Amino acid sequence: MAPGKKGSVHGKRSKHHAPRDYAETLNDLTIKSSSDDTDASSSDDEGIKATFSVSMWDLNHCDPKKCSGRKLLRHNLIKNLKLGHRFQGLVLSPVGTQCVSPNDKNIIETFGLAVIDCSWAKIDETPFSRMKSPHPRLLPFLVAANPINYGKPYQLSCVEALAAAMFITGHKSEAKFYLSKFSWGHSFLELNSDALDLYAACTDSKSVLEAQATFLESVKNEQDDRPMWPPSESDSASDS
């Protein structure tokens, strides 16, 4: 799923590196990335299944074998929406003008949560006008833990985006449950624990943005001159 820049599903893109602590965490976490479809082993702390609806618009931009949204669909944990369907709940969408915040908890509990599964390479041809909601939202700064984009800011998969929105709005057990379906899922919460706790302690979108700014400032102050990850294709080459 496309990450968080404006025009992204998750918030405005920053040129800041993640904190140095992230680099240390990256080395400490054990990631089973041989297959995205590998089921996570059972645990006593897998969370609870959401009682609210969870949905997605699948634009078929991703490899079905690597798409976390498709895996959730196979587990009957997400509903696939058709183009033209108006979703009344909260939607993680590039056309969002506000960040997800704890104030959105009631919207999710009443009307549900959805995500738009689209590729940045095809963003200009994505029919957002046919995926409407009264509550489009972006996500603030977070780092991916999925095997494809591990360690990259904003490059979240569908399940990571959904789990982040759940966590920020007070549905932490539900976030754990969805991530537990992936062998690498626990790493997302571990890698982003400080940021997620900051955002979850906020009230509205404005305070989430302020928390994000504070977090990124701490990143700036803590970073050193050594690159923690190789540049992504978007950073090293011009967009086609």
Q: Is 139 annotated as a binding residue?
A: yes
Does 154 show up as a binding residue in the annotation?
Answer: yes
Residue 150 among known ligand-binding residues: no
Looking up tokens 């995500």 gives 115
Here the tokens at position 164 are: 């982040």
- Residue 113 annotated as part of some ligand binding site: no
Binding-site residues for S-adenosyl-L-methionine sit at: 68, 116, 139, 154
Could you list the residues known to form a binding site, using ranges.
68, 116, 139, 154
